[in-house]
Structure 1
Amino acid sequence: MRKAIAIAVLVLLAACGPQLGPLERGETGRVVRAYAGDTLELDSGLRVFLAEMDAPRGEDAYAAQAQGELEALALHREVLLAYGGARRWVPRPREGQTEVPDEAAIAHVFVKSEGGRWFWLQHEMVSRGAAFVRPRHDNHARSAELIALEAQARQAERGLWGRREYSALSARAAAAQAIAADISCLRGAAPYRIVDAEVADARVFDRRASLRLQGAPAETPFSVVVFGESFARWDGPALASLTGARIRVRGPLGVFRDEPQLCLDHSSQLEVLPVGQSR
């Protein structure tokens, strides 16, 4: 009897469709193509960027495996899009360009398996270590859940987390990579990295904050910075209180006035780590 009831409950849940939580229901379709490990194309022609995560691409280490995981999970399957923030990415026309590419959706994706079970694609990609979490100020509705999943995958060294290239950087290594990139952190090409370090000095000003991290060379001090609209809408831990705290931050590396830095766009990009935790 209990077994029959359990089966009935499972069937009912499957019939009810995916559990969206706070997300808003969007379009449906069938996946006809996967680009890298974080982009899909539906049979309608709509391109879909997977919200709140990113994956290796191009010549990056683990890029082929990430795309393989995405294809295995979603290709030729029915999906439902759901939204928790900005819904569309609109490309800017390049100089001399006569045709502008179509806009793309930025969505959470729920996939219907062959057995009729719905699963959250971002959950699977991050859990397998095939993608990393990348929240933004206009898309962070489920980043806390994804960051917790990412921490488990990192601890188990699953997927990309078993590769040296994706280890969390020290302040010294982050400073070196920022200088090598030699680009503004506001540029799309800026390298996106995770850094674990202790805050040597936290300073908050009228319109910006700077967290200088321990471990970088004295001649190239490395800081985590928050400025502009990101500073104005900050809703995370009090930045001025972080001196001496060990933090994990994720964001683009850049250089400003010859000083290397990592820029934060939203408070979900900063974690205050328990004493002794550094993975």
Structure 2
Amino acid sequence: MRYVTLPLVRLAVPLLGWLLLAGGASAEGLRVAAVLDGDTLELEDGRQVRLAGIEAAKPPRNSNPADGRVWPLAEAATRALSDLALGRRVLLHGPAPVDRRDRLLAQLVREDGLWLQSALLVRGMARVHTRPDARAYAAEMLAGETTARDAGRGLWRSRVYAVRDAADADELARDRDSFQLVEGVVLAVSKSGGETWLDFGADWRSDVTVHIGRAAMREVTRAGIDPLSYEGRRVRVRGWITLRNGPMIEITHPEQIERLEREPASAARRGSAPDDDDPWDDPWDDPWNEDDAEEDPE
């Protein structure tokens, strides 16, 4: 088996307290029986597990499978997870919530200590996508994502997954009902009744806005983040794009927002990929390029 040579993060299982979830798992963990997509797999006992904290390259929820479009890097992400996990034993870190599709959300570590989330992130096969009940190891996952993004690996070479410009409200409006990373300079901060708004344009009725509700503001403050000081600062936010007086991202937990002290070295900017006639034709459609690979030492 051949892998791109990358600085994988390996975690000591005892150190992080990896636990086996209920359901008859042995001390050796459970074998992966099937890989369903780039961040979802099925265990030998029939349970499905979604890798918590990441969003692999895949079509967004609002896409139409009937249109026959091949989504950039979706198959590559599935192959990546298959190469890493199929037929291998994994341990699940719990307790883990269950999503609306009755899938467990968990951090997964292979029997040899390889952390699957990190392995996918540093290869550029996924983005960090935490949620209020699945936030563990967000800092470590963000570091893996940054490594891939700054190197322009995988999905970070595709305009489909590129970081959006917060100043471009029209483009973000077209991204409605999809998960995106957005960067820009906050032009105005306002607060009312415990709620906070960060605006990236001159007109709050149509520009890109980040909303932080009361409960989320308490969580953000406890994490040492002060959004009220962000006016004039460059920030990166991640979340679902909705339309409410222009494109809006709702902050529900601290890991969704990052203050950027400098202009990031990222190659992943909307439009940074080579120009062509088909925006869906990704210029880097084979992340397992053997020219850049060597034998897996395992």
* Alpha-carbon contact 2:205-2:246 (below 8 Å) kept: no
Alignment of 1:232-251 (within 5 A): 232-234=218-220, 235-236=222-223, 237-251=225-239
Q: Would the aligned equivalents of 1:37 and 1:63 in 2 still touch at CA under 8 Å?
A: yes
Q: CA deviation at 1:226?
A: 1.1
Q: CA deviation at 1:161?
A: 0.7
SS at match of 1:108: strand
Structure 1 partner of 2:103? 104
Rounded to whole Å, the distance in 2 between the matches of 1:22 and 1:224 is 35
**1:163 partnered with 2:158:** yes
Q: Is the counterpart of residue 87 in structure 1 residue 96 in structure 2?
A: yes
| Structure 1 residues 181 and 195: CA distance shift in structure 2, 3 A | closer
**Hey, what's the Cα distance between the residues in 1 that align with 2:17 and 2:138?**
13
Cα distance in structure 2, aligned partners of 1:273 and 1:218: 23
Cα distance in 2, alignment partners of residues 18 and 275 from structure 1: 35
**How many pairs does the alignment contain?**
239
Partner SS, residue 232 of structure 2 = coil
| Letter matched to residue 53 of structure 1 | I
- Does the C-alpha gap of structure 1 residues 20 and 177 become closer, same or farther in structure 2, counting only changes over 3 Å? farther
Larger proportion of helix: 1
Shift of 1:263: 1.6
For 1:36 and 1:163, the matched residues in 2 are separated by: 19
**Aligned partner of 1:141 among 125, 128, 136:** 136
8 Å Cα contact 2:164-2:172 kept in structure 1: no
Which of 71, 78, 82 is the equivalent residue of 2:89? Answer: 78
Query: RCO (CA 8 Å, sep 6+): is it higher in 1 or 2?
Result: 2
Query: Which secondary structure state, in structure 2, belongs to the residue aligned with residue 81 of structure 1?
Result: strand
AA at the equivalent of 1:69: A
Q: Cα gap change, 1:266/1:218 in structure 2, threshold over 3 Å: closer, same or farther?
A: closer
Q: Give runs of aligned pairs for residues 1-279 of structure 1, distance below 5 A.
A: 18-19=13-14, 21=16, 23-26=18-21, 27=25, 28-58=29-59, 59-83=70-94, 87-91=96-100, 103-112=102-111, 117-173=112-168, 175-181=169-175, 190-214=177-201, 220-234=206-220, 235-236=222-223, 237-256=225-244, 258-277=245-264, 279=266
Contact 1:18 1:119 in 2 (8 A): no
Aligned in 2, Cα 1:159/1:217: closer, same or farther, shift over 3 Å?
farther
Name the stretch that deviates more: 128-137 or 201-210.
201-210
Give the alignment's TM-score, normalised by structure 1: 0.78
Identity of aligned residues (%): 28
Once the two structures are TM-superposed, the CA of residue 159 in structure 1 deviates from its matched residue by 0.8
Matching residue's letter, 2:195 = R
TM-score, structure 2 length as denominator? 0.73
Assess, with a 3 A threshold, how the Cα gap between structure 1 residues 110 and 229 changes in structure 2: closer, same or farther. same
CA distance in 2, matches of 1:138, 1:192: 17
Whole-Å Cα distance in 2 between the matches of residues 267 and 41 of structure 1?
A: 30
Distance 2:145 2:195 in 1: 29
Provide, for residues 49-103 of structure 1, a one-character-per-residue CA deviation record: whole Å limited to 9, x for no partner.
Answer: 10111112244321111101000100011111112xx612243xxxxxxxxx6x2
Q: How far is 1:229 from its partner?
A: 3.0
